[in-house]
């Protein structure tokens, strides 16, 4: 694991030891065989941005190798059960899976949803007990056009503005990325809000801001066209530039 020391706030008395973990909630569009019937004739949807985040897994794997940090991935389509939404959220199930019985939905929760989330939560808790702060970077991509509207964002850095450490780290990351990627439109809390329902939002409720930083990195899929290796290299070098070994 890549361990580094980072002074998150200038008024801190000593550097804060930080360990980085990566997650990718929309890494794949795989459907377990038991539920294949739900998606018969729907391969076009499964292979669209609705079924997964194209390019996210490839980018996350490169970042994990470049930073030498652990990566946790959810290996099934979000259209079965959405790992980046809380239980009870109206979009936890898609139009394809919401027709399932209560029993089947509970099976999805117990077999797929909870194990993924609890494994990561458990790993974070374990590392925090070793007196380190976890920087959790959740890797996502987004479609360049949604509802016929072109999205004027290349890279989005999502965080909770009420959390000082997340705000500071996100600001530094944006400045470093802008320096390395001139002309790239990098936005804070776009194209989504960092406090909207999601995995990082849920984890903030479990851990304090002194031991957990949750950042979502949203990459416009157009940037990844034949450019994933180069972009991952820039992100890796940016993170390493911020942190001091």
pLDDT digit string (tens) for 93-142? 999 999 999 999 999 999 999 999 999 999 999 999 998 999 999 999 99
- Give the β-pairing of 145-146 and 149-150: antiparallel
* In the chain, where the domains are located: 3-242
**Higher-scoring residue by pLDDT: 244, 37:** 37
Using left for φ > 0, alpha for ψ between -120 and 50, and beta otherwise, residue 41 falls in left
Mean pLDDT, the chain, integer: 92
Banded model confidence at residue 11, pLDDT cuts 50, 70, 90: very low
Q: What is the pLDDT of residue 121?
A: 98
pLDDT tens readout for residues 38-85: 999 999 999 999 999 999 999 999 999 999 999 999 999 999 999 999
Whole-angstrom distance, CA of residue 178 vs CA of residue 185: 8
The strand ranges marked E within 7-110 are 16-24, 71-73
CA 103, 23, 85, 18 torsion-angle sign: positive
The CATH fold of domain 3-242: Aminopeptidase (3.40.630)
């Amino acid at each position: 694991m890549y361990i580094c020391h980072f002074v998150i706030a200038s008024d801190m008395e000593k550097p804060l030891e930080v360990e980085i973990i990566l997650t990718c909630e929309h890494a794949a569009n795989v459907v377990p065989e038991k539920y294949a019937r739900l998606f018969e004739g729907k391969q076009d949807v499964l292979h669209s941005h609705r079924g997964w985040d194209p390019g996210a897994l490839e980018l996350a794997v490169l970042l994990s190798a470049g930073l030498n940090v652990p990566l946790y991935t959810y290996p099934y389509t979000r259209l079965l059960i959405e790992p980046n939404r809380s239980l009870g959220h109206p979009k936890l199930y898609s139009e394809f899976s919401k027709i399932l019985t209560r029993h089947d939905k509970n099976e999805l929760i117990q077999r797929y949803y909870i194990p993924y989330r609890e494994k990561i939560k458990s790993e974070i808790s374990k590392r925090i007990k070793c007196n380190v702060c976890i920087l959790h970077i959740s890797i996502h991509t987004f479609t360049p056009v949604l509802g016929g509207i072109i999205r004027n964002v290349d890279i989005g850095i999502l965080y909770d503005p009420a959390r000082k450490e997340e705000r500071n780290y996100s600001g530094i990351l944006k400045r470093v990325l802008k320096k390395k990627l001139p002309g790239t439109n990098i936005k804070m809390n776009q194209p989504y809000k960092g406090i909207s329902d999601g995995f990082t939002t849920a984890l903030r409720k479990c851990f304090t801001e002194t031991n957990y930083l949750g950042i979502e990195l949203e990459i416009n899929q157009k940037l990844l066209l034949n450019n994933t290796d180069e972009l991952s290299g820039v992100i890796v070098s940016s993170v390493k530039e911020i942190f001091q070994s």
